[in-house]
């Protein structure tokens, strides 16, 4: 029902964009794609997106910060998060700023997150090279880099006092 325009009139790009933004943050590129798919004129979409950004209703910086926080909560690593942000149309400066902001806020200790993620998924470090490789692939697939992966394999099952 929310996706339908009011009876007797067509939805404008702004109407559709506001409906989308009411549910969650979207990057400018995502909104452009979605509004184009709904058949709106490209010039109207661009004007609408400029107006929404000017009014503070759409912000790529806010989207990137929100996206980063949600992915950290899911136990994803920095490499995967960066790739997803790029895919969603956030430029490198925006990504760098979001990561800097999360680091300043104390949200992203990637080594500790890799340890927590690994410990949640597996009960121990693995006794065989095959089991250890499985844990390495798991963390690499989650987007952790080599140093974070090694740290997690060595410290995921230590007590918190031992990890420093």
Q: According to the model, what pLDDT value does residue 6 have?
A: 44
Indicate the burial class of 66 (C-beta count within 10 angstroms; 0-12, 13-18, 19 or more): middle
Which is higher by pLDDT, 159 or 123?
123
What does the block give as tokens for 75? 């136990």
Q: According to the model, what pLDDT value does residue 105 have?
A: 57
Where does 60-104 sit in CATH, by number?
1.10.10
Between CA 24 and CA 104 the distance in angstroms is: 24
Which is higher by pLDDT, 164 or 90?
90
Which is higher by pLDDT, 147 or 8?
147
Q: What is the domain partition of the chain in residue ranges?
A: 13-54, 60-104, 110-163
């Amino acid at each position: 029902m929310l996706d339908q325009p009011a009876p007797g009139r067509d939805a404008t790009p702004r109407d559709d964009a506001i409906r989308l933004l009411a549910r969650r943050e979207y990057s400018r590129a995502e909104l452009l794609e979605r509004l184009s798919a709904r058949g709106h004129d490209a010039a109207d979409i661009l004007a609408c997106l400029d107006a929404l950004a000017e009014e503070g209703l759409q912000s790529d910086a806010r989207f990137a910060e929100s996206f980063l926080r949600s992915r950290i909560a899911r136990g994803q690593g920095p490499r995967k998060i960066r790739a997803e942000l790029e895919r969603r149309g956030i430029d490198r400066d925006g990504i760098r700023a979001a990561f800097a902001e999360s680091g300043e806020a104390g949200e992203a200790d990637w080594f500790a997150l890799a340890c927590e993620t690994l410990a949640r998924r597996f009960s121990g470090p693995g006794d065989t090279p095959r089991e250890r490789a499985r844990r390495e692939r798991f963390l690499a697939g989650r987007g952790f880099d080599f140093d974070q992966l090694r740290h997690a394999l060595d410290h995921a099952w230590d007590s918190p006092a031992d990890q420093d």
